[in-house]
Amino acid sequence: MPLIDMPSEQAQSLFWEGMQEVAEAATRHRDEELFDALRKIGKAAVSQGIEPVPQGGRFLRCPVCGSAPGQLCLSTPGHPLKDHFHPERVDLVGKILTGEVAMEAVIQ
């Protein structure tokens, strides 16, 4: 029995909203430990069945610049940013959501 009576959709929404708030704080304070914590929390959540949400790829490591989960992408020659993220990172989320790429393959 859950400790708090809450629909799973609401719990998932609150989880990702909290992750977004922590990512914003980590970015604002340039806190690498918070980014590492986001990676660990996200990995644990996905292992327990919490579905990933698009979030523009924010909670995946960028395959272009290597930005950590929660971090904005870094400008890289030949790879323009769109809304602070590389298109390859955003595309990766779509591939995960459609099942083309397994989440386990990209979570580190």
- Residue 30 CA to residue 75 CA, distance in Å, equals 16
Model pLDDT for residues 62-83, shown as the tens digit of each residue: 999 999 888 999 999 999 999 9
The model's confidence at residue 53, banded by pLDDT at 50, 70 and 90, is low
Domain ranges of the chain: 8-106
Return the DSSP state at 3: S
pLDDT band at 88 (very low <50, low <70, confident <90, very high): very high
CA dihedral for 11, 107, 103, 53, sign (positive or negative): positive
Question: What is the reported pTM?
Answer: 0.76
